[in-house]
Amino acid sequence: MAKNDRKNTIPPEIINFLSATSGRSLLVKGGSGTGKTTFALQLLESFASPENSFYLSTRVSDEALFSQFPWLREKEMKRRILDSSKMLLDVLYKKEEETPKEEIKTIATARSFLKSIDGEYGPPSRVDRTRLSMLIEENHMPEVESLYDMIDHILPNKAMVVVDSIEGITHKYGLEMEEVVMCFQKDLVENSNVNVVMVLEKADAGGIEYLADGLISMERGEIEERRVRYVHLEKLRATEISQPFYPVTLKDGKFNSFLPWVGGKSSHSKWEIENVKEEFFSTGVPDLDELLGGGFKKGSYNGFEVGEGVSREEYYSILRPIFLSFLARKRGIIAILPGGEAPEIFRDDLTKYIDPEVFDNVVRIADYFAANTDKKYIMPLRKGTTEDALRIWRDGEKAARGIGNYSNDKGNPFIEYTGFDSLEYIQGESPAIKGLLTGVVRTKLAGDLGIGLLKPGLKVTKEVFNMMDTYFKIVSIGHTPCIYGIKPKTKIYAVTPDQVKGEPYINLNPIV
C-alpha cells in the first residue's frame, strides 16, 4: 500500500482534524487491550513523515514494541521510536552541569521574545519551553527535554509527536496529569505548531478533556460472543464529525477503520467468471468461498439474516456477487423478492455487470400482485387458478435453467432466491414454512442453490434456521456492512469494496 493510501485506514475526520495549519492536540483513551498503542503507531506511520515525527514510549521498551509490532522494524519507522528508559540513561544530568534557575528564566524570556517575532513573520522556528521550564525546576525529565530538542531541529516544519502514555510520565516524576497535558498543549501545540497525540492508559480521561483539542476513545464489545472494536470520535475541535463511530480491526498489528458503505461507485465492467471446484457454487467472494471450504455446496440452502437498520445497499453488497456469479455463467434466478423491492430495480442493479438479454432470458421474478405484464422476467401470479400459477412457475423454472436458450433439455442449475418477509406476508406463517420445506427438498434433489433472506421480526426465522445448511447474519456497524457465520461459526468480517477491482467485488476483513 502506498504511503498516501495509508491515510484511508484512519477515520477521515481525524485526518481533517490533524491537517489544520495550526498545531492540534488529541487525547486517546480506552481500556486495556482496546488498541490505543496500535492506533497511535498507525497514525504516526500514515500521517507524518519520518523525519518530522516521534513516538515517545513510556510504558514499554522499543524492543518490546518491535516484538509486538514487527512492521516497526522498517527503517523509516524505527527511527521514530524513542525509548524513554534508554533516554534516561543516555541523557543523565550531573549536578554541576545543570543550568542555573536564573539562566532558565533568562532563556525562557528570550524564547518568548523570539516566539513573538516568529508569530509576526511565519511559523515558529524554536520550541517554546515556558511550561517545561517550570516543571523541571524540581526534577529533570530527560526524555521530554530531549524530545523538545529534537523538535527544535525540525521547526519551522510541522512536527508530530505521540506520547504513550501520559500516566507513564506523571507516575515517573510525581506530576499531575493536568500539569503534563497543559505543558504539551501550551509549549508544543499552541506556541510551537506541533501536533501532539497523548495516549491515556484508562477509559476515563479523568477530567482533563477540556485541555485538549480532540478526544477519541477506543472501545470493544461483543456481538453474539464475537469480538467487535470501535473508535468513538467524542470531540474534534473545529472539525465536523459526520460519523462518530467506526468499526476497527487490529489485524497483523495494524489499525484499520472501515468507512460507511456508500455504494454506486462501481467499475461498471462485466463480471468476471471465477474458478471454483466442481462440487461447489462460487459465492462470487473469494474470502467467503474460503470460509465455506470452497463455496456453497450444490443442492444447499443458505440463509442470510439481516439485522436492524441494515440498508438494502448494505445487504446487497453481499448478495449481489452471488447472483452475478450465476448470471455470468448464464445460470438463472427464480425469485420472490423481499418486501419493498421492485423487479425493475433488481434488474437495473444486476444488468450493470451482465448482459441485459441474459437477465431477461434466465431470471424470473414472482409478482403476486400483477395480473399481466409486458416484462419477460416477471411472473404475474395474481390472476387465474392455482393450476395457472403452477404452470407459470414451472415455465419460470425452465427459463431459469436456460432451457431453450443456454442449455440442453436437462438445463443448468439456478438460484431460488426467497425474501421470507414477502412469503410470510403473502402466505402466512404456516404456509411459508411449508413452502420453505418444499423448496429445500426441491433444491437438494435438483442440485440447485437456495438463498433465503430474513428480515427482523419474522415468525419463521427459527424454523428457517433449522433447515439451512449455512446461516449468516448481516449487521451494520457504523453504517459498514458486516457479516458473521452461525453455520459455520465465524468471527465478524467487515465488508469493503475490493481495492483493485472496486464494486461490486468485495473483500471480507476480519475484525480482531
CA 419 to chain centre: 28
The confidence score (pLDDT) of residue 68 equals 54
User: What are the average pLDDT values for consecutive 10-residue runs of the chain, which has 512 residues?
Assistant: 55 94 95 90 81 79 53 53 46 43 54 49 82 89 91 90 91 93 96 95 88 95 93 96 94 91 71 84 95 95 95 96 96 94 95 95 91 90 78 90 79 93 77 73 89 90 87 95 96 94 94 94
Tell which residue, 141, 114, 123, 238, has the closest CA to residue 192. 123
Distance (Å) of CA 413 to CA 324, 332, 405:
14, 7, 14
User: 375 is written with which cell numbers?
Assistant: 416484462
State the pTM of this model. 0.85
Planar angle of CA 251, 254, 257, nearest 5 degrees: 85
- Sorted by sequence, the CB contacts under 8 Å of residue 17 that are 6+ apart come out as 24, 26, 213, 214, 236, 237, 238, 239
The confidence score (pLDDT) of residue 212 equals 96
The confidence score (pLDDT) of residue 382 equals 79
The confidence score (pLDDT) of residue 70 equals 54
Distance (Å) of CA 180 to CA 23, 80, 127:
17, 21, 16
The answer to whether the beta carbons of residues 406 and 413 sit under 8 Å apart is no
User: Phi first, then psi: what are they for 301, rounded to 5°?
Assistant: -115, 130
Q: What is the CA radius of gyration of the chain?
A: 30
Q: 202: which DSSP letter?
A: S
